[in-house]
Amino acid sequence: MSSEVTTECLVIGAGPAGLQASYLLHRAGRDHLVLESGQAAGTFFTRFPRHRQLISINKVYTGWDDPELNLRVDWNSLLSDDPELLFTGYTPRYFPTADDMVRYLGDFAVKNDLPVRYDTRVVSVTRPDDFVVRDQHGGTYRAKRIIVATGVSQPYVPDIDGVEHAEHYYDVSVDPQDFTNKRVLIIGRGNSAFETADALMETTSVIHVAGPGSLKLAWQTHFVGHLRAVNNNFLDTYQLKSQNALLDGHIKGIRRDGDAYLVKVSFQRVNEVIKEIRYDRVILATGFRFDASIFAPECRPQLTIKSRFPDQTAAWESVNVPDLFFAGTITQMRDFKKSTSGFIHGFRYGVRALHRIAEQRYHGVDWPSRSVEPAADAVTEAIIERVNRTSALWQMFGFLADVVLTGKDGSVRYLEEVPVAHLHEAVARGEFGDVESYLTVTLEYGEDHDKVNPFDITAGRTSQDDTSGLDGRYLHPVVRRFRAGELVDEHHVTENLENEWDSETVHRTPLREYLR
């Protein structure tokens, strides 16, 4: 009979988010344990992406000596105090391989002596009082709280008549020779769909990539989950008339026709005219979803966004199960297709913020802060220094904020990297003390930034012609003033070409006057 293990916090999953959470708990001296179903850390990356190339930037040579600035262009490293544990030391490739990530995560777990139990797959989570977790070996674990960092581990299968005839990106062959001279339909228009299309172009006769709505390109929307340039070679073959095509519409049905398939496509560009098209292979590349099946009914988290993600509060806590938290790519429901919570370079900061929230709630440890002289000059310098260096606000644009709190006694404190939504709730609850008013400092793109082609020179650059102007297509700092939770006013720090905000006349003086 297996003995029961009791711990304060149980982390499920030893991918990048689970390891980041464990690192922070370990450094704080908190009792915790990580359970991982695979034989090593980063099991997801042993299988995905299927064609092995990551699309996360790994820029080794930056010209900067500042480690904080370097994290702006290092999208793979976890946050740690050890400069030897940066992903940039593992490969010089700008777009690294998934195998590089597996190696890095394994080293991160071992060199930080993180308490991970491998080959330990969670099969059930109940909550008679504390959480009780059981694994496939019969082991039992009891914990006051849980951090689920399992990612989106199950294929998302859309509601299409005959969808069972399609193969899934999850397990379809990655050998191009298996598709020689075949007509292939790929359903889905994300990076996994185009990654697959690019890999098969040399051997197939025809590839169609299908999905509803307008295709969104990351270089225009600033959302890194939209189609990345590294995966868009297929678009050339379509627009240059090389037998491939992008179908804008809904898939209405798939049926067998001998050794092939007939697929009904409802075309949006032509008033939903339906055509039935013949293919030899049909591949689903429609994404993934969170697996909630391990949770008993009394502690099963509510799901959202087509049941793909657990629904979460501003503190990444389940909306219906107290003390059940989430970390990693499954936290993207909080900024879905807007910021970067779904990616390592975003959620590493989200996990750190979650840790600070938990430290305050469960251990009475205040959010780290520093005192600032209550004067416009001092606050201006604090803000300018941070926006010129911060990687967290740069990566989690519009989502995380630095905060300047003014107490009713006139004191001023500066807090870094607080989730904006959590901040407003925490101030209202008095978790940051007796606050008279507060400022938020975020980095943001302007309104409709994703509607303009950034390479269209006819759009101009307002800020090059007039220093009082602002070009919303580019990142810039926004300072907002709140009192009693209500927005009082805001100040936009002028964007410039280098994204450095240190000009005395253009940046400091207007901000100083606003603060006065």
Span 393-416, pLDDT tens digits:
999 999 999 999 999 999 999 999
Tokens of 125: 């989570």
Q: Model confidence over 420-429: pLDDT tens digits?
A: 999 999 999 9
Q: Residue 77: phi, psi to the nearest 5?
A: -70, 145
Average pLDDT over all residues of the chain: 93
The predicted model gives 363-380 an average pLDDT of 97
Amino acid at 302: Q
Beta strands in 328-450 (DSSP E): 369-372, 400-407, 412-419, 435-444
**Which is higher by pLDDT, 330 or 468?**
330
Q: Is 421 exposed, middle or buried (0-12, 13-18, 19+ CB in 10 A)?
A: middle
Task: Note the residue count of the chain.
Answer: 516
Cα separation values, 289 from 104, 109, 297, 327, Å: 25, 26, 19, 14
* Residue 41 predicted with pLDDT over 70: yes
pLDDT at 272: 81
Residue 124 has what DSSP assignment?
Answer: E
* Residue 464 predicted with pLDDT over 80: no
Identity of the highest mean pLDDT range in 217-226, 390-399, 445-454 = 390-399
The predicted model gives 227-233 an average pLDDT of 91
Domains and CATH numbers, the chain: 4-154+289-363 (3.50.50.60), 163-286 (3.50.50.60), 369-515 (no CATH)
CB atoms within 10 A of CB 102: 18
pLDDT at 468: 47
Name, in order, each residue with C-beta under 8 angstroms of 251's C-beta and a sequence gap of 6 or more: 158, 160, 187, 210, 263, 264, 265, 266
Amino acid at 239: Q
Three-state DSSP state, 210: strand
Tokens of 187: 């359903």
**Nearest residue to 43 via CA among 153, 141, 146:** 153
